Structure 1
Amino acid sequence: MAGIVMLVCCGWTVLVCFSVQAYENLALHKSAWQNNTWGSYTADRAVDGRYTDLTLSGGQCAVSDLGKTVEWRVDLGGVRSIHHIVIQYMTDNDEWGENNLLTSFFLGFFVYISKTTNKEDGVLCLRDTNYTTSTIPNPVNITCPYQGRYVIYYNNRTHPPYPEGYSDYANIDLCEVEVYGCPLPGYYGDNCSVECKDDLCDNENETFLGGKPGFIGPRCNIVV
């Protein structure tokens, strides 16, 4: 959508138009993958927009077999400017907290944004080292202003002993993963109102991420 600013100078009134786009859920109905699947609870269930029933039987969540490492990712369909990620865990529709057994499977999780399917090629948005079964939030809201094509959720149980409250196995019980950012490439900043040269800017901090040569500066608009 477009915004209009009215400027008055020397008796003249000038209308200046600029592009404004609200953050959108870029993950909705996009292609998703997980390294193993329990039954019919496939990875795409975590990006289908449904999370009114947070039980296994509700059929709205992606679920894996128990394992030592679990990984889930969504393909945004192209490199996009991301602002924040919201993760809704399965709860069995029970009160969330230390008495909910599902909390133990999520402790120690990682979230990455990458331009490839390899998480090591990207940026680590969050590695949980502090949450306990009584403090882990649900949903989890992660601010990570970065550009990428894939959002990757990862967890492992490969280096015992584990902190108190951790499960012995990792699991994917994701009822929804929402990735909010700018719907069109080349825009970033507050309300996606800043156009970026070469689609290489941080969407919130207005900094150049690098890549193609030709433009530098805090708004990527200085030709070199």
Structure 2
Amino acid sequence: MTGMVFVFYCNWAVLLCLSVQAYENLALHKPAWQSSTWRPSFPGLSYTADRAVDGQYTGPCAESGVGQTTVEWRVDLGAVKNIHHVLINHNGWPSGWALGFSVYISNTTNKEDGVLCFRDTNYTRATIPNPVNITCPYHGRYVIYYNNRTHPPYPEGYRPYTVIGLCEVEVYGCRSLRNYGENCSLECPQTCQDGNCDIVEGTCLACRPGFIGPRCME
């Protein structure tokens, strides 16, 4: 599995297909950490945090110790990146452990320093998708997965404890904060502060002194 997503456009009348490179998986093989790791009684397998960014959708996966009241997993993208969406592939066993999870984007290892881009408040064991595709159009260095069982009572279907069970976490976006668009080929307006802009619309997050407007053109 590669770190890229490819979209294929085909003209079957002339049997011509063009491959367009889209957002890149910025998390592939990046350093990862988790709050605890399951230690099986049999040797030969590991369930460490890096299993969730190894490009493999099958096990062994990143898994925490059982019976946890709070769990946290994160990947370090190496620098602040322009993120578009996060794809989370749970191990599927059992879905009740995963219900209620959250995803944060942060510039530090502390989720409270970042932004909450998703919190599950509606999924059930029957409806939670796998993988989960979460739109997170933010800038950040760390993508943090979090879950807890600290405030009972819980909704129907929730397990009383939670675990990490992540077979793959993919973070799609642009390597450069100065690029945007589906194939990261468009450049942010020069008048954006630090040249940074929204990954979808190309609107500036802030303007250089003397400029105003969504694209700092006024």
Q: Report whether the alignment pairs 1:158 with 2:159.
A: no
Give the conservation status (yes or no) of the 8 Å contact 2:177–2:196: no
Tell me the TM-score normalised to structure 1 length. 0.77
Residue in structure 2 matched with residue 9 of structure 1 by the alignment: none
Where in structure 1 do 4 or more consecutive aligned residues deviate above 2 Å? 205-210, 212-222
Distance in structure 1 (CA, Å) of the matches to 2:23 and 2:212: 25
- Select 1:135's aligned residue among 127, 141, 152: 127
Distance in structure 2 (CA, Å) of the matches to 1:161 and 1:199: 47
Q: How far off its partner does 1:199 sit?
A: 4.2
3-state SS of 2:50 partner: helix
Residue in structure 1 matched with residue 52 of structure 2 by the alignment: 46
Give the conservation status (yes or no) of the 8 Å contact 2:69–2:161: yes
Q: How far off its partner does 1:201 sit?
A: 1.5
**CA separation of 1:29 and 1:127: change in aligned 2, threshold 3 A:** same
3-state SS of 1:22 partner: strand
Distance in structure 2 (CA, Å) of the matches to 1:154 and 1:109: 6
Give the conservation status (yes or no) of the 8 Å contact 1:21–1:193: no
Q: How far off its partner does 1:114 sit?
A: 1.0
3-state SS of 1:180 partner: strand
Distance in structure 1 (CA, Å) of the matches to 2:86 and 2:25: 9
Residue in structure 2 matched with residue 84 of structure 1 by the alignment: 85
Paired positions, count:
187
Distance in structure 2 (CA, Å) of the matches to 1:221 and 1:175: 44
Distance in structure 2 (CA, Å) of the matches to 1:209 and 1:157: 36
Q: Report whether the alignment pairs 1:219 with 2:211.
A: no
In angstroms, what is the RMSD of aligned CA positions? Answer: 1.9
Distance in structure 2 (CA, Å) of the matches to 1:43 and 1:146: 23
Distance in structure 1 (CA, Å) of the matches to 2:182 and 2:147: 32
Q: How far off its partner does 1:35 sit?
A: 0.9
Distance in structure 2 (CA, Å) of the matches to 1:156 and 1:30: 25
Residue in structure 2 matched with residue 174 of structure 1 by the alignment: 166
Which amino acid is the alignment partner of residue 55 of structure 2? G
Q: How far off its partner does 1:123 sit?
A: 1.4
Residue in structure 2 matched with residue 207 of structure 1 by the alignment: 203
Residue in structure 2 matched with residue 112 of structure 1 by the alignment: 104
Q: How far off its partner does 1:151 sit?
A: 0.5
Which amino acid is the alignment partner of residue 119 of structure 1? K
Alignment deviations for residues 9-65 of structure 1 (CA, whole Å, 9 cap, x no partner): xxxxxxxxxxx96210000000001111112311000000011x3xxxx42x10001
Residue in structure 1 matched with residue 177 of structure 2 by the alignment: 185
Alignment deviations for residues 126-180 of structure 1 (CA, whole Å, 9 cap, x no partner): 1100001100000000011111111110000000011000011110000000000
Q: Report whether the alignment pairs 1:25 with 2:31.
A: no
Alignment deviations for residues 90-127 of structure 1 (CA, whole Å, 9 cap, x no partner): 03xxxxxxxxx511011000001111111111111111
Larger Rg: 1
